[in-house]
Structure 1
Amino acid sequence: MDTSRFLGTLKDSVGNKARPEGSIAEAYVNKECHNFCSMYFHGVETRYNRFERNFDGDQIMIENEYSIFSQKARTLGAAIYYTLSNSDFRTIQWYILINCDEIEEYLKMHMEEIQKHGNADLQQRHQVEFPSWLKRYVIKLHLDASLESNNHLYVLGIGPDIRVSRYTGIIVNGVRFHTIKRGSSRRTQNSGVLVHGVHNSKETDFYGQLTDIIQLDYCNGNKVFMFECDWWNVGDKKNGIRTNGDLISVNVSRKWYTCDRFVLATQVEQVFYIDDVKNGDNWKFVQKTNPRHIYDVPEVEGNESNPAHEPYQQFEPGSNDVHQTNIVESRR
């Protein structure tokens, strides 16, 4: 808290108008005493031990846990329960499976198996048949007593419940997201999303807005959070996206990938959209920001450091002593 704001807080505590200086001094002493005592409280929430506003929940790390089940997220608001359509359920389940690095060998096994029956519509058959193939495979392993029911391969292979929970807000990796519906009645904006992907074998940044937050429940208490988004057509370099130096403007009236709306919550970055008055009402500038208390410091491979890029701070001009400071990395 800066000095002017702190002084204003103390002025609000003036009870004796004839002796304002005494009231301010007493309020200051009381505040310092309370702060000192609160540092030694245990089991009581104080300003020194309370969670951050965008605290995303405790996470118990389990040995050999699959990355797909290790999302750090805290939902906001009450859950709305509903049943996914068959097409959405298949789309989401396939997306989860191909984004789980731990089962890459099983994806290859299934691909080799279906190739024995011909190469026609190979990728489509792989996408349609793999979830049921993996389910039969893990059930067989379980019946042969070679796979425990709490093993994450078994959990993933059995698949999620088609009945899911929907939310209008969530905090993922310390970032707060709201759906468009929740943000429509607010002056703040938390629905802008960015996902790094590939289009036509080229790396592409997909910009859009969050429309729904879905929680899928697996057995043994495992959960996966998915975002349903509307994507803007940035593939059209003329009428979909325009760049001017470091400024990026997207056309929010042209949608893209309408059949591929789901992504993992942990794959999404937050962006904000600002009106582009030059190009018209349908155009928005993209503003990328770094959330508070979250730092993305590049990792240095190995123990060697490059002196040319090593940060340091000098004490006083003309001083002979130069001390280098280390930067503590705080990963997301």
Structure 2
Amino acid sequence: MRHPVDSLAWETINRKWPSFALDPQNIRFGLATDGFNPFQDLSMSYSCWPVILFMYNLPPWLCMSKENLMLTLLILGPKQPGNDIDVYLAPLVEDLNELWVNGVRMYDAVEKSTFNLKAILMWTINDFSAYANTSGWSTKGKLACPLCRTNTYSEWLPHSRKHVYMGHRRFLPRKHSFRNKCKWFNGHVEEKGKPKLFTGEDIYKEVKDIVNDWERGAKKEKMSTNESQLWKKKSIFFELPYWKDLVLRHNLDVMHIEKNICDSIIGTLLNMKVKEHKITGLKSNDCHILIQQLLPVALRGILPEGSRKAILRLCTFFKELCSRVLDRNRLEKLEEKVVETLCMLERFFPPSFFDIMVHLTIHLGREIRLCGLVQYRWMYPIERYMKILKGYVRNRARPEGCIAERYLAEEYAMFCGKEHLEELKGSDRRLEKNEKLLQKKHVETFNVWLHEKIKVMENHINVSNILKWLSRGPRVQSMSYSGFVINSLRFHTKDAEKSRQNSGVSLEATTICRASAKDNTQVIGKVTYYGVLREIIVLDYHTFQLPIFRCDWANIVNGVRDDDGFTLVNLHEGQSQFEKDPFILASQANQVFYSRETNSLNWYVVLKAPSRGFQDLQLYDESDNEPPMSIEVGGLVQDDNEDAPNKRTDVDDIICDV
């Protein structure tokens, strides 16, 4: 097994719907969703939920690559959608239904013809908390396992105040010796058999009569042990006519399971409290390397033989589970092996170790047998992509808007770039074999190619003059200045200022200062970014010029603080933020001055001074106690009165001090 095409799930789709399988252009999708805070911190004050589709009709190295992940929905915060996520997913499910039932007409650029495109959603990928939101089964409490369901074996530990999930001997073969080892386990012979796993048809029969109530504030019935009331909702995915016939609908995320188990092992070995297991400072990738590579070596000769072997077997299981090539004939042995491993852990580890994540490992082998390698069904590529989406946010008041606009802009640019690259390859066969030469040619000729495309577009639609000149690109040689005057402010670069203090730059942005989860209200405020001007570049687009500033920005999280009414900024180079996106438009820049803080090398006090010759127009209502409100007229100061007393006449718009 090297690709989802080698899985039983793929074969089942081919067998159940042969007409769909016969057309290689039909798409097989996976869907992932998770929440993240877009404000570059780990607090839970805001939660944005992207919904991402990815295609499996691609080679292994392209299936989960960034350029092939499709951002289909952005669910706005500040709260997590919870079970109401179905309300937001409704338009997407409607489109998926259309793609399955009728299809859409598409154009084949290679064959120069149209065809009918259809698609199927194979499964979803989520962490365990989002698993509950998409499936409708609660992943908390004594019946937390969504696969064992009513047959979940759990116990309540009153002192630890948590449910634990043990009793894994029932998954062993009937004649296995562990079933009779009373003293090794709970003092009883295990006679129960392996719990029955329910099919999609069984689940659909239970949930088909559930009527979802999405009314805000409506009381939700508490989950009971009555089988007809175990489901919190009927998942919207059952509106897809094929959903109940799939062999697996929701995947268990190996990344989070591996991470949580690694935390539990280290916390137990270090004799930490249960609540402290999750704060060892290890990230998911750290745990991935630790449990598969380093932990087996570190434990050699330290622990007693029994507990050491149990941990080593678990480490080996995860290492084999995450292989990029798997033998189908070994998967059943892998499932049997992990059952024995969990039984060995029950013998040597305390009951508090066995949270739901430890129990879920018993189902991972089955899911690989059904759906293939974990590399196409875990959250690593999704988490990395969400970090990219987080970097798109520039306006903290409208994070989803920033993400959507940046995503569309990159899609446009990538589409144009790929089309240009394909045309270059077709025009010169040598470029197909020389990637460096191809990229060099791409950079040199892209503007000319885009300009020709714009000229063709002019025959069909109206194209703005700005777009026409942008397609030509700026002049090859751009001017770099050490000084610049804009908005009646004189800026100098850090390297050129010498004794002058004109390199301080600030940028004000509108942001969400506070969001109340109770009444869903938002308070809009301001956040100010502080930095130092490093370079001034003026791009010349023939009919207009665009001045931009490259700045070193202080870290907004731990590089800015208030102290006795003063704002202090850490200007140490190691504290700089936005290194990949340091540019701002010159018209956006405000000027500040920095005074070194006493007994500190890196901290500076921020000083602000009004610009010369710039008049703030103010509105003031005498009946109102609020302070005057400034009116921003525009980026550049415009004054038609040449005799204005405060107008500066000693400088031009651009000054060059080189």
TM-score tier by shorter-chain length is 0.3 to 0.5
Greater share of helix residues, 1 or 2?
Answer: 2
Point out the structure with max Rg over C-alpha: 2
Output the TM-score relative to the length of structure 2: 0.25
Output the TM-score relative to the length of structure 1: 0.48
Greater share of strand residues, 1 or 2?
Answer: 1
